[in-house]
């Protein structure tokens, strides 16, 4: 694993996301590893309160949840990762979930909402590294394709 952390989207990745169809549903796979201790900027109200990364992430969920629900987002699957069968042995995740949005436009509406933008400070303080992968949902059924 590299020393690079993945907390916020890079500009090229965000532009690529925005260039895709905004009117189709999207399922966002989230893989998140928390910091042991939340890392707020010194001027943030939570700085120095000794929160864990998991506690700060819970604040992110609490504060961003109403915006997520307003745009039609829903968590369709959530799990606690237990072991890596295929992948880097030093890579681990504290939580994994799939968030479904009615459209990619709804996701973009959420991340540009002023309430969400305030809440995301908790996520930034909480997360050591993460992956956020956009998927085009398919009908579930037999087979893998």
The reported pLDDT for the residue numbered 118 is 95
Considering only residues 43 and 106, tell me which one the structure prediction assigns the higher pLDDT: 106
* pLDDT exceeds 50 at position 110: yes
Residue corresponding to tokens 């809440």: 119
Terminal-residue alpha carbon distance, the chain: 29
CA distance 71 to 69: 6
Residue 2's pLDDT is: 45
Residue 123 structure tokens: 């996520």
The whole-angstrom separation of Cα 136 and Cα 103 is 10
Token duo for residue 51:
């929160």
Given a cut of 70, whether residue 145 has pLDDT beyond it is no
What is the DSSP track for 8-75? S--HHHHHHHHHS-SSS-EEEEEEEEE-SB----TTSTTTTS--BHHHHHHHHHHHHHHHHHHTT-EE
Place 130 in a pLDDT band, splitting at 50, 70 and 90.
very high
pTM of the model: 0.91
How many beta carbons lie within 10 A of that of residue 99, not counting itself?
Answer: 19
23-135 carries CATH number 3.30.70.100: yes
> In the chain, where are the structural domains located?
23-135
Instruction: Find out whether 99 and 30 touch, Cβ atoms under 8 Å.
Output: yes
Counting residues of the chain whose pLDDT is more than 90, the rounded percentage is 82
Cα–Cα distance between 30 and 131 in angstroms, integer? 6
The stretch 68-75 carries a mean pLDDT of 98
In Å, how far are 138, 139, 140, 141 from 144, measured between CA atoms? 11, 11, 9, 8
Question: What is the model's pLDDT at position 99?
Answer: 98
């Amino acid at each position: 694993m590299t020393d690079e952390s993945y907390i916020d989207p890079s500009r090229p990745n965000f532009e690529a996301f925005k260039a895709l169809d905004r009117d189709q549903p999207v399922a966002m796979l989230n893989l998140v590893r928390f910091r042991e201790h939340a890392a707020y900027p010194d001027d943030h109200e939570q700085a120095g309160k000794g929160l864990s990364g998991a506690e700060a992430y819970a604040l992110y969920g609490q504060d961003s949840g109403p915006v997520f629900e307003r745009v039609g987002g829903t968590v369709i699957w959530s799990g606690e990762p237990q072991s890596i069968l295929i992948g880097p042995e030093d890579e681990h995740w504290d939580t994994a979930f799939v968030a479904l949005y009615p459209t990619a436009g709804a996701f973009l509406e959420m991340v540009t909402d002023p309430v969400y933008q305030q809440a995301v400070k908790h996520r930034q303080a909480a997360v050591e590294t993460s992956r956020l992968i956009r998927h085009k949902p398919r009908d579930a059924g037999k087979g893998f394709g």
